[in-house]
Copies of this chain bind each other. A is one copy, B any other.
């Protein structure tokens, strides 16, 4: 092939999976949280398991667990990681002044690997929240996913991170 020109793109801006081959596989943990704001009446129906699609939190929990295992398939530059434990928990809270209520979601994940599990924990929280939305949307389309964030992570070169209380 007689080629006139062959100029490579400037690598700046090109997406890539960061090379972790020189990193050590250490025990890593991450905890993330978030919440779904809703009408107090919606929250009561969740507690009382009054939704046609089923037990909202049992389904949301499974959705969070299963989505976390898919993290590297969905977050484009995430490395695949063999998760070793994964828990999703829920709590209810209510603001009597505004009449708003929340389902609060916490997810905790651990792995022995070369990269952290922050994204897996955030995936679990987000998908639990999205599933709550899906199961309750017929009665409360105004629900809002809020405050999805990393609370704490440990392991790896960057060490331990702990969110300050707000």
Please report A residues at the B interface, Cβ cutoff 8 Å.
1-9, 11-21, 27, 34, 49, 52-55, 57-59, 61-63, 65-67, 69-70, 72-97, 104, 110-114, 118-119, 122-123, 126-127, 129-131, 133-135, 137-138, 141-150, 153, 158, 161, 163
Contact = CB atoms under 8 A, between A and B. Distances in A.
A93 B96 CA distance: 32
Contacts of A86: 16-17
A83 B78 CA distance: 10
Which 4 pairs of residues, A with B, have the shortest CB-CB distance? A15-B54, A19-B85, A145-B148, A17-B86
Majority secondary structure, A binding face: mixed
Contacts of A138: 158
B145 A126 contact: yes
B145 A145 contact: yes
A90 to B, nearest CB: 6
